[in-house]
Chains A and B, each alone.
Chain A
Amino acid sequence: MSSFRKSLLIAGLLAATGAQALAQGALSGLGRPATPKEIAAWDIDVRPDFKGLPAGSGTVAQGQDIWESKCASCHGIFGEANEVFTPLVGGTTADDVKTGRVARLTDPGFPGRTTLMKVATVSTLWDYINRAMPWNAPKSLKTDEVYAVTAFLLNLGGVVPDNYTLSDKNMADAQARLPNRNGMNLGHAMWPGKGLTTGKAPDVKAVACMKDCAAEPKVASLLPDFARNAHGNLAEQNRAVGAQVGVDTTAPAGSAPAKPVVVAAAPKAAGSGDGGAAQALLTQHSCTACHAADTKLVGPSFKDIAAKHGARADAQAYLAGKIKSGGVGVWGQIPMPPQALSAEDAKAIARWLSDGARK
């Protein structure tokens, strides 16, 4: 056999082997077994049957301390704040704790829905606080702290008493008192699998009428004229060439057809100019989670801080101190928690602020 034909044969054999290997699902040499240590580091999920829940406990009182230092800045002292996120607590009653159905969910007039009005599983709260809270320092709470914060949250909602200790042993008891524990509905056909939801067919059934259909007779809802420019000038949000252009919402309705305008793309401020180094620090220490350059978020804008305190003789020391130790009352009642950054970085940010917070 010529060497050429031999090599063809070998190639054919190799191809056959490859195909066989794939058919068996063995991607040879790819992936390795995960170690128990690795799995423990990442497998943190907790299910409604408490599978995955680590042993531990925390009291309502401990939870209150943690809450006030790490949670209240976004969620309010009583979990009621609507400033940053939707409120966690409110809208549930002692009667709901008995029935397991939040009565106010049937009232279309009740404004908003809090977390405790909706959630049907304590595991959900524990799992989410553990994996994602505090918002700007997720996964920094210890297991017992997660129990304590969960206990405090449940206490705020009247689910557990002031002297309660929540633990892996009694979470099922707390679960049995959750106000909306019976409020979930699986009677729909929108789960793309079997055996979980019970609906057999889509709930809304329309027909595709083509001629002389019963149309809805009138315009029932449209944006009021005063909201015309609420989303910015729509002329600047449409392509300037084409069959249609955006309407100039800075002018009253019914004005002239818009003149197409092209807005120059906004230059990126971060990392450029004098403020580049400061911007990097602001990002590194998650300052930007609560503060923005020109607009109020959770806390005041950097521009406002610079305007208010930049002229103080002790501006740098004052601001560095405020950054390190946090505070409340200067800008409102949402507290800023103490920040764990080096004195050097705090000083650098304070210097940048007192210099006018330039981008």
Chain B
Amino acid sequence: MSADDDNNLPGAHRAAAAGRLLKAPENYLDAQGIRTVVEEARHGRRDFMRRAFATAAAGTATVAAVGARAQSNPLPAEGGDPNILNLPAHTTGLGQGVATDGYGKPSKFEANVQRRPSPGLTQTQQSSVSFAPLQSLFGIVTPSGLHFERHHQGWWDVDPSKHRLMLNGSDPTLMKTPKVFTVDEIMRMPSVSRFHFIECGANSGMEWGNVAVPTVQYSHGMLSCSEFTGVPLKLLLDQCGVDYKKARFVLGEGADGSSMTRTVPMELIESGEVIVAYGQNGEMLRPENGYPLRLVVPGVQGVSWVKYLRRIEVGDKPWATKDEAVHYIDLMPDGTHRQYSSIQECKSVVTTPSGGQVLLDKGFYNISGLAWSGRGKVAKVDVSVDGGRNWRPARLQGPVMSKCLTRFNIDWVWDGKAAIVQSRATDETGYVQPSYRQLRAVRGTRSIYHNNAIQSWLVQESGEVKNVQLS
């Protein structure tokens, strides 16, 4: 581990000069060459790869095209890249027609990018979770088909023409006129569209005690971000004559088998932030995400974002529902459980490079990641490549929005030595994302929920990146 990686901050010009990606020399080696490279790389002699590559470039090897893979960018001996010199079929032929697929799909070369369950985490598929592939995503929006899933009793594709939303009071004095709305009616109302992150309260929960999973998909993938469209819940409650003085708590309830319930404070509804959403990223919500209605509770853990939302109740006390009295309670070192711990505090993670990936050569890399805070906007993200000794501020990609993912980027020239890459976010309230040591000093290691510690990725000399925790 070198502590001086940061002594030479890479300016853009320097980075451009130093950076050269060497990704897949196998493309230009014959079978024997590949075996030799594999053998040498196993012994950690990275420089050998350059020589092997140079040999290939000198024209002693034949081209062995093997399916889809990362492209290297050599100058071949024959004076040009065959990918340039030999025009491919897609340049010389006729392509496919419009609307070949009425709902387009990602390229077949993107098939690795999938949401995935973590092996052994749950025993059934209906009460389970799948993780979003953060390591492969750009920007801040999660494609709807890759949005993480958490179902307690299986998902349904609910007929929107039969779905109803009811609003009532736990006491007749708290709401003058309990009402029923159809989805048609909700979609006729004045709407808002806003970008927000949703994070499961148990995201990174497997890592409280020690490293348990290999990649950012499993360590942080119960996190997604979408543009949600819907109606502020306040507007709906205003139609019903709510006694806002007494009714300080709101219950959301789902229409599925689990009929999930969660308590939300009226303050959040009054702020206008909580919406009854039907839209997600320009289309309707996906069935796995609560089609046709879900509650959007910005900054609060995902379990409160009730899917298949069928009912809103206002009351003068919280409900202590199963998911706020048995689960989603945080065990503290003194044996008590924190109840009603809803806010997702400021957190960040580097998504590339990240665990389970391989850097194939020294030189320039764009360290990129995500930062977010349940208390507002991200103010700053710092990145360290020496395990937290020195930090540099990263560039925040705008627009930076409240309770929304913020993409950050920072230049890095990897010198081929072991490095520990970390990110640390600060939100607009001044709260700084803590290290594991700082977090555990207060909350111990058994909380399961609300792990927002700084993530460390060890870049080994071999280029392989590992999930590690420091102490």
Chain A residues in the interface with B (C-beta under 8 A): 22, 25-27, 30-34, 38-39, 42-45, 47-49, 51-52, 83-85, 101-103, 105-106, 108, 113, 115, 118-121, 123-124, 127-128, 131-132, 135, 138-139, 180, 183-197, 202-213, 215-223, 227-228, 230-232, 234, 236-247, 249, 253-265, 288-290, 292, 297-298
Contact = CB atoms under 8 A, between A and B. Distances in A.
A261 B67 CA distance: 8
A184 B329 contact: yes
B124 A298 contact: yes
B432 A206 contact: yes
Contacts of B60: none
Contacts of B129: none
Nearest to B26: A259
B18 to A, nearest CB: 15
B67 to A, nearest CB: 7
Contact of A260 (B69, B334, B353): B69
B320 A243 contact: no
A231 B218 contact: yes
A256 B322 contact: no
B102 interface: no
Tell me what chain A mostly uses at the interface: helix, strand, loop, or mixed.
loop
Interface string B38-52: 100110100001000
A187 B339 CA distance: 9
Given A219-B458, A247-B358, A256-B38, A239 B322 contact: no
B358 A120 contact: no
B358 A38 contact: no
Interface residues of B, number: 154
Given A115-B326, A212-B390, A244 B352 contact: yes
Contacts of A30: 181, 185, 188-189, 239
- Max count, chain A CB within 10 A of own CB: residue among B69, B110, B392: B69
A119 B265 contact: no
Contacts of A31: 179-181, 185, 236, 239
B127 interface: yes
Interface in B323-354: 325-326, 329, 331-332, 334-343, 345, 352-353
Contacts of B466: 222-223
Contact of B322 (A120, A127, A232): A127
B335 A192 contact: no
A75 B350 CA distance: 40
A40 B71 CA distance: 64
Nearest to A193: B265
Nearest to B179: A31
Interface in B366-405: 366, 374, 380, 382, 386-392
Contacts of A213: 388-391
24 contacts: A25-B239, A26-B239, A30-B181, A31-B180, A39-B168, A45-B170, A85-B127, A127-B319, A131-B259, A132-B258, A192-B343, A193-B267, A203-B443, A210-B390, A217-B471, A219-B420, A219-B458, A221-B468, A223-B214, A234-B357, A240-B109, A247-B358, A257-B358, A290-B124
